[in-house]
Amino acid sequence: MERLPAVAGRLCVLPVKSAVPLLFALGLLLVPGRAAERPPMAHEMMGVANGCFVESVALLDLWQERLGADAWAKMLRWGAREDDEVVAGHAVAVCEARGRLWCYDINFGWMALSVDAAQKENVDAVVTPIVAKYPRIKAQFPSYFADATSAPVGGTPAALLTSPNAALRDVTIVAEKLARHRAVNVVTFTHGTGEPRQESAAAVFLYSGRYCIYAAERGTTPFRARGGVENLRLVRECLLRMFPGVLDVKKWQGPQ
């Protein structure tokens, strides 16, 4: 029986309160008793807000593209509790390379894990050294997500790298990257209970059987919903569970 709630909580970056050492930034974290190892793959982050889920998807897509569908790699995601407060969850990519298990975490880069590769399907064993980097966090309901890539669908507008609207900028960056391997729909909408209403945007895509919506303000929420990414009625229903007072949900056609 699956332990996740009906709607998994949104996933975003867990704060790292101390400065990230250079070794982490370069992906050269040492496993005790081992020499420094070369990370299995170079990866350039998109650098979007609350991007742990979509960054993991992008890396896993690249992994399959370069190494094939039989190469073992999955997203590991969990809900979280900090002290006695429920906080946003997190997602990382876990991959097997050169007989070792590696984790890519947007807060730390590549990390070689001190878990035997034979234990790769043991979620509890794999999550333990990863969550150890967040000493105040208690991971809840850790689980794997995996998805096969597909050919680009096309039709997704190019990223607006210089847009003054930060939400739209991040959403279009995500959409352009993920659309290389799956259908992605970009929508704009307004939300809020007062005036002026907040203008925002979201990227809608499918991953591991979930209906996923990324918004820069909230991160990614994976819903147990069935439908196509172009279904605006379904998109609005999901957005209403992420934001108050959602209105004016429209497919974004690119800059006019």
* pLDDT tens sequence across 80-126: 766 666 557 899 999 999 999 999 999 999 999 999 999 999 999 99
Q: How far is CA 213 from CA 28, 207, 225, in A?
A: 32, 10, 11
| Residue 182 to residue 61: CA distance in whole angstroms | 10
pLDDT reported for residue 194: 81
In 3D space, the residue among 194, 195, 197, 221 whose CA is nearest the CA of residue 207 turns out to be 221
Checking if the pLDDT of 155 tops 80, the result is no
* Token pair in block for residue 20: 């990230």
* Token pair in block for residue 161: 């790298």
Strands 137-145 and 219-223: unpaired
* pLDDT tens sequence across 13-43: 444 433 333 333 334 344 444 556 789 999 8
What are phi and psi for residue 89, nearest 5 degrees? -80, -170
| Residue 97 to residue 86: CA distance in whole angstroms | 34
| Residue 137 to residue 86: CA distance in whole angstroms | 10
Statement: the pTM of the whole predicted model exceeds 0.85: no
| Residue 43 to residue 45: CA distance in whole angstroms | 6
Question: How many residues are given for the chain?
Answer: 256
Domains of the chain, by residue range, sit at 22-145, 166-251
